[in-house]
Amino acid sequence: MKITEKDIPNIEKVLGLKLCEHQINYLLNGEEIPKEMQTGSEAEKRVAYSIKLLLSEGTTLNLNKPEQFADQWALEGEERLFYAKKFKREFIPIWSKLHSSDFRWFPIRNVWI
């Protein structure tokens, strides 16, 4: 299911945050978030990527193996595993809020814990 403009206020309400224009463009159109607009070690991109991942169709995500779905695909080996653990810490609260909300009008990807 594709995220639309009418979904954005609901996503923001459920997550308790205000998405930036470039995050919204990423969610709606898949436009990459420019490096100069990212803050907090790409935190804005991780939030947008997590939302898009959770609201997309696909296989169940295994939280015991976050390196299989975390962004930053160029990283390898120990560096990738380290990043994936960091990604998981930020991903779980987003998944939890979307999963436990009244966000049932939009299918949320299954996550195996």
Q: What is the mean pLDDT of each run of 10 residues along the chain (113 residues)?
A: 90 94 89 62 83 91 94 90 94 91 71 82
Q: So what's the pLDDT on residue 108?
A: 75
Q: So what's the pLDDT on residue 37?
A: 59
Q: So what's the pLDDT on residue 72?
A: 85
Q: So what's the pLDDT on residue 73?
A: 82
Q: So what's the pLDDT on residue 78?
A: 95
Q: So what's the pLDDT on residue 40?
A: 54
Residues 6+ apart with CB under 8 A from 107: 1, 55, 57
- Report d(CA 107, CA 67) in Å as an integer: 23
Residue pair 69/53 in contact (Cβ under 8 Å)? The answer is yes
Cα–Cα nearest to 50, from 14, 90, 12, 13: 90
Q: So what's the pLDDT on residue 4?
A: 93
Q: What does pTM read for this prediction? A: 0.86
b (16+ CB within 10 A) / e for 59-83 = eebeeeebbebbbbeeeeeeebeeb
Q: So what's the pLDDT on residue 110?
A: 82
